[in-house]
Every structure is written in structure tokens, then in C-alpha cells.
Amino acid sequence: MIDPFTLTLILIVVLSLAGASVGLAMMAGSFVYLILKGFDPSIASETMLQGLFNNYTLLAIPLFILAADIMNIGSLADRLLRFAQALVGRFRGGLGHVNVVSSLIFSGMSGSAVADAVGMGKIIINMMTRDGKYTKSYAAAITAATATVGPIIPPSIPMVLYAIVSDQSVGFLFAAGMAPGLLMALAMGVMNYVIARKRNFPVDEVVPLRDMPRITWKALPALMLPVILLGGIYGGIMTPTEAAAVAAFYALLISAVFYRSVTFREFYQALLGSARSTASVGVLVAGAITFNYVITREQLPVSISDWLAQYEFTRWQFLIVVNILFLALGMVLEGGAILLIIVPILIPSVQAMGIDLIHFGVIVVVNAMLGLITPPYGLLLFITANITDEPITRIIKDVWPFILALMAALLVITFVPDFVLFLPRMLGYQG
């Protein structure tokens, strides 16, 4: 007779391949497991509800989603792009650099790679492909690649999810993402410059220096959002969840009152979009909480720790294996599912190896973001392909140099933990 846990895994895979959401598939598999094991199925419902209602940090997710959606309907993206264009458009491959810098700035507001690609991406792709300056495939590829910085620079929805499953501080995780996010942006900027010289991409319009104060002033209200958020969190004024609420309110305030670029209908559509996205994340979290109960009953984390102990991996060997595992999983699984399903299984082994959980969290999130541009799943590739109507095979060809640049940054992030942890330690982290 087939083992109940094996049957549960098969059911989850089959349902996912059939088109069901991963969250619903995990719920269904978990219920089957409980029934076959002779447990009361209501345990799953109780576990799910307790996990959702007893975690205050979860409230940050819908609020950050709402903030990103409001920013995408206002004129914030246009003003930020103009500011980025004034800064770096004068260099070879200028609009590619604008793409990198604008994603870096927008990432300090939304915390979502998808929000970056959908909102800022539409505008910058149109700018790059106008008059045939850049090929559509290259514009789509660099837009998808730069959007991965979104959840690394704080605020970050994936880091909130990691904080939930690892019981770590959201504030310290946000701080740990700053230097890696800047490194990733630098790696992509260098790669864009190399490709621009090779393909002879144009220099963008040079904005006179005398216009910089005016352009900066127009973008200043939007640029102040990351300052307000991070200053409030690290100044002890507000928690990350409260900061998410402030972000949503501030985005609405400057879009509707200061810039006067949001209609009531657009705001209503943003609320609907945020509700749908939140529901999707909520189902995934609920399914993961239920399935994690099954994993705990099966003592899977302990079994994996024992298995790893047999091979006597060093800390660095273990991290290499973990990176390979997450990069492979990222090709076929959504990032949220990786964070909520795989990470809890590995946490005991990570602790046994003496690896810092904040450092490990950044490694995991960077890997999850790489999965968004890695074929065949590559959600961001499909989003940019839809924007440009370009065959995804061409986009994949152009995105590989950026994947390699991001992997080089990942090696630094993995093997130089002090590079990741120096800022959290300055803010009081004891790890």
C-alpha cells in the first residue's frame, strides 16, 4: 500500500500540473493525509486559521501590495523615470541604465518584482523600443532582470514571508537586503554597459545639469517614500506592518492630492487588483501552513538534518548545495511556494550548520527572484513577453547575460556573509 505522505506529494504535484493553485493543492493533499492517517481533518482547518490570524506580520503583505498598485496608477512612475533618465541617460546604453536605476528606486516603495515589471516596465519598454533604439527582446529581458531587485531592496514581500517561517526580524531582514540589492543593480548596470558597447546602443538624451534641481523637485515626494518607511522602522517609530500601512496611505496622498493623477475609478480598480493579489497570496500561505503541519508530523526536517549529517558537509558546501537546489526549484516553482514549503524543512539544518538565519534569508530570496527570470517558468519573462508581444525564446536569449551577472552577485552574497550582515549589525543585530 502506498505511503500516505507519498500519496500526498503525488496529489499536490498532479493538482498543480492540472492548473490548481499551489495553495489549494497543498490544502487538498494535507486533508487526504490526515484522513488516511486517521486524524481529525478539522486539525487542518484549526492549524490554518491559527497560522493566519495569530501572525500580525502577515498584515504587511496586503498593505504593501496596495501601495504598489496605487503607485502604478498614478504618475509616480513617470516622474521617477524622468529623474533616473536625468541621472544616467547620458551614458552608453542610457535607457538600459535608466531601467536599472528606476527599478532600484521603485523597489524601495513596492517590495514586489511583479509590480515593478507591470508598472514601471510598461513605460520603460515603450521608451526603449521607440524609434527602434533597442530591440523589443532586449528591452523585455533587461526589464525582467532589473525587476528582481524589487524584493531585495526593502520593503520586501518575500522577506516578510521568510520572516514568518523562520521567526526572524522583518526589520533586520530589510536591512540585510540593502547591500545585496545595490550589488545586483551594479552587476546588471555593468552587464548593460558591456552589451551596449558591443551592440552600439545609443546614448540617451542628455539632460542639462541646470534642469536637475527642477526634475528632482518634481520627483521628491515619490523619492521620500523609502526614506519615510526605513526611517520609521529603524527609528523605532513604527513596525514593518505599520510602515506598510503608511506606505499605502502616503502613495495615495501624493498620487491623489500632490500629483492629482488618480481618479476614483482608478483607485477602485487598484483596490480590486490588490484584493485579488492578496487573496492569491493568502491561499498560498494558508496551504503552506496546513502542509507544514503534515511535514512536522512526518518529522521531515529532522530526517533531512540526519541525512545531511551523514555526509559531513561543511558550511560552505551546504550553501552550494542549497543554492543549486533553490536555483533548480526556481525553474519550476513560484517563489512564494519555495519560501513557504522548502525553507521550513531546511531551517533545522541551517541552524545545525551555524549559518546565520538573516544571511540565509537573503540567499533564499535572491534565489527565488532568480527563478522569476529562469526558464521554463520565469514569470517575469512571461509578463514582459506579454507587454512587448515578443516571442519568449528571443527574450530568454537576451536575458541570459543578466542571469549570469546576478549569479555572480549571488556568489558574493553567499560566501561573504559580512557583506550582508554589516548593516543589520550597525542597527543592533547580534548575529
* CA distance from start to end of the chain: 47
Give 54's DSSP letter.
T
The CA distance from 294 to 11, in Å, is 14
Q: What is the rounded average pLDDT for all residues in the chain?
A: 82
Domain boundaries, the chain: 40-426
Nearest alpha carbon to residue 24 among 14, 10, 12? 12
Please state the pTM of the whole predicted model.
0.82
Give 313's DSSP letter.
-
pLDDT for 49: 61
pLDDT for 111: 64
pLDDT in tens, 241-288: 788 888 888 888 888 877 777 788 888 888 888 888 778 777 777 777
Give 38's DSSP letter.
T
pLDDT in tens, 318-372: 899 889 888 887 776 777 778 888 888 888 888 888 899 999 999 999 998 898 8
pLDDT for 404: 94
The CA distance from 189 to 186, in Å, is 5
- Give exposure, 157-180, as e/b (b: 16+ Cβ within 10 Å): bbbbbbbbbbebbbbbbbbbbbbb
Cell for 96? Answer: 538600459
Radius of gyration of the chain (CA): 22
Q: Write down the number of H helices and E strands in the chain.
A: 22, 0
Give phi and psi for 333, each to the nearest 5: -115, 150
pLDDT for 57: 67
pLDDT for 74: 63
Give 40's DSSP letter.
-
Q: How confident is the model at residue 40 (pLDDT cuts 50, 70, 90)?
A: confident
Res 301 pLDDT > 80: no
Give phi and psi for 98, each to the nearest 5: -60, -40
pLDDT for 202: 72
Q: How confident is the model at residue 50 (pLDDT cuts 50, 70, 90)?
A: low
Q: Does the N-terminal peptide bond of residue 344 adopt cis geometry, omega within 30 degrees of 0? A: no
The CA distance from 321 to 324, in Å, is 5
CB 32 within 8 A of CB 11: yes
Nearest alpha carbon to residue 170 among 118, 65, 241? 241
pLDDT for 101: 84
The CA distance from 235 to 229, in Å, is 10
Mean pLDDT, residues 62-75 taken together: 75
- Residue 202, SS3 per DSSP: coil
Q: How confident is the model at residue 206 (pLDDT cuts 50, 70, 90)?
A: confident
Res 52 pLDDT > 70: no
Span of 30-34, 43-47, 80-84, 203-207 with lowest mean pLDDT: 43-47
Question: Which residue carries 527582446 as its cell?
Answer: 137
Span of 22-31, 41-50, 72-81, 87-96 with lowest mean pLDDT: 41-50
Q: Given phi > 0 = left and psi -120 to 50 = alpha, else beta, which region is 297? A: alpha
pLDDT in tens, 131-170: 777 888 998 999 989 988 888 988 788 888 898 888 888 8
The CA distance from 74 to 300, in Å, is 47
Q: Does the N-terminal peptide bond of residue 376 adopt cis geometry, omega within 30 degrees of 0? A: yes
Mean pLDDT, residues 422-429 taken together: 89
pLDDT for 87: 75
The CA distance from 288 to 58, in Å, is 14
